[in-house]
Structure formats: C-alpha cells, structure tokens
C-alpha cells in the first residue's frame, strides 16, 4: 500500500489477512459508502493520523461499539507510506510472481493435514508444534473453555492480568503482559509491526512477512516458542503460584528458540551473539 487511493477499505486485505467487511461484520453494514478507498477513510500527515467515517447511523450496540474500537486501534497502528499503490507477490521475497511459488502454495492448500491449514515446523520440538496446533484449533485449556464445559469456578479471569476473562485470544494476544512479550519479539527480530486480533493471526503471521522461506520459517519457530513460553508462564501462576517477570519470559523465549534452532538446523552456524542481535546472514535476509 502506498497512499491507499486504489485499495478498497472494506473489501480488500490491506490491514489484516481478511477484508474488514468480514473481520468486522457488525460494523460493515453501517458504512454509507461500501466502495470507499483506504485514502477516503485514513489520511496520514507528518503531524497526525486522520480517520474519517461515514455511517448510516452511529454504532449503538455493544458489538458495534466493540468493533469500532477494534477498527480504530488497527488504524492507529497502520502506516501509510505515500506514493502510488503497487502490486507485489508475497510468496517470493523479491515481490515478483513465479509459477514455482504458486505451485508450492497450491500443494500446501491441497494437503492441509490434520490442522486444517496449520503449518508444522521441524525447527522446534514436536511438543511445541502440538501446543501451537492445539491453540490454532481452539483446543487448549483456558478458564473460558472450562466455563463452556460447565466447570463452575469462583473466577474465570485471566491468571496473568486478572482483568479480563481468560479466552484463547486474550491469553495469547490481548493480555497486556503478553502484548509486551510480542512487542519485544518484534523489536528483537526487526519485523514490521503487524496487527493481530485473534491467536490465529499470530500463528500465521509469518505468511505476511516478506523474506526468504528460511526467514519466514525462523519467525514461525520463534512465534511457536513464544506461545510455549506464554503458556508456561500462565501455568506457573495457576499450578505453582509462581509469578514470572516479563524479562524472565523474554529471556526463556530467546534462549529456547536459540537452542532448538542450533541443534535442529546444524547446517546453519549461528552464535548466541548473532542470535541476540538477529544478525543471521545464513538466512539470506
């Protein structure tokens, strides 16, 4: 995206992996111009970001207001580079179309495996893959999951922040403690900041990052290890009454991801210093 003059605000995938009309189904019917372009709804100046909305009526229900807050949050975290919008092929690091990359993606789509599209990663242990797969399928135990199974507890609040009910999306995406973990990973890997609403957005986020296949696989492995670390931190609070600091969780993610990468991808030589500074020439960044 350049200035957003040719990209549909509601009907194209420009801010998440699906159009906003599907991501925000309660808000879309209120839009007065459903063919509006990104430029019509979001302008960026050197001083500020300007949002412009045109509703048939103002959002009134709880669902509409909640989705409006989600929309505003996404827009505030989005950068518009300026210049003309251009086309790029995300399956190749150079941005150009190749038949080989298309064939590879079609093969993946025709053989989705037991996770209905979930991608396994042999750079991390099987137990980490299984946890990520269970999270992807919505089968990991949370307080909200227990409530849906009619397990009666005194509280269903998140065991990390204690402020919101513990759902899959809150535990792995929405909790303030977890957001700080993801912020540290973005800073460490120097990946562009991508907005995620659901935990599935996080698990598949490597597909939205430009770079070589090895680089995207590396980011996927780090995300899986982060999910593992977040889950361990949560379980320590629940079962061991042990509160782990943000620095402890960040260090564990960096250390475990390095050890598993080093001993599972032996053909690529990486030192701890290179890993900490994300100076990985072997990834052909």
**73 phi and psi, to 5 degrees?**
-65, -45
Average pLDDT by consecutive 10-residue portion of the chain (285 residues)? 90 88 92 93 80 91 89 82 82 84 74 64 92 90 84 87 92 93 92 80 86 89 96 92 93 94 82 87 55
Provide the pLDDT for residue 117.
67
Gap between the Cα atoms of 131 and 171, Å rounded: 14
pLDDT, position 35 = 95
pTM over 0.75: no
Question: What SS3 class is residue 26?
Answer: coil
Cβ pair 11, 21 in contact under 8 A = yes
Domain ranges of the chain: 1-85, 87-112, 118-283
Q: Where are the alpha helices (DSSP H) in the chain?
A: 20-23, 38-41, 62-76, 99-110, 126-136, 143-148, 168-169, 176-189, 199-203, 213-239, 246-264, 272-276
- Residue 218: name the closest of 258, 183, 179 by CA: 258
Query: What's the pLDDT score for residue 285?
Result: 43
């Amino acid at each position: 995206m350049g200035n957003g003059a040719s990209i549909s605000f509601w009907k194209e995938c420009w801010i998440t992996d699906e159009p906003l009309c599907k991501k925000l189904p309660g808000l879309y019917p209120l839009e007065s111009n459903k063919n509006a372009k990104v430029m019509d709804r979001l302008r960026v100046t050197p001083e500020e970001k300007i949002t412009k909305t045109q509703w048939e009526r103002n959002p009134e229900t709880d669902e509409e207001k909640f989705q409006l807050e989600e929309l505003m949050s996404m827009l505030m975290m989005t950068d518009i580079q300026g210049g003309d919008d251009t086309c790029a092929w995300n399956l190749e690091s150079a941005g150009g179309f190749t038949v080989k990359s298309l064939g590879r993606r079609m093969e993946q789509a025709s053989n989705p495996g037991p996770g209905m599209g979930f991608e396994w990663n042999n750079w991390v242990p099987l137990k980490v893959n299984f946890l990520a797969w269970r999270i992807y399928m919505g089968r990991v135990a949370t307080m909200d999951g227990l409530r849906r199974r009619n397990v009666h507890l005194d509280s269903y609040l998140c065991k990390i922040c204690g402020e919101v009910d513990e759902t899959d999306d809150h535990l792995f995406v929405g909790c303030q403690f977890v957001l700080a973990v993801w912020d540290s990973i973005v800073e460490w890997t120097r990946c562009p900041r991508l907005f995620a609403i659901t935990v599935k957005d996080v698990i598949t986020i490597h597909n939205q990052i430009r770079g070589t296949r090895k680089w995207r696989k590396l980011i996927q492995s780090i995300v899986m290890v982060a999910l593992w670390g977040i889950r361990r931190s949560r379980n320590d609070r629940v079962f061991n009454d042990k509160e782990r600091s943000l620095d402890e969780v960040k260090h564990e993610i960096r250390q475990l991801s390095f050890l598993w990468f080093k001993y599972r991808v032996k053909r690529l030589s990486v030192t701890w210093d290179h890993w900490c500074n994300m100076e990985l020439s072997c990834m052909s960044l």
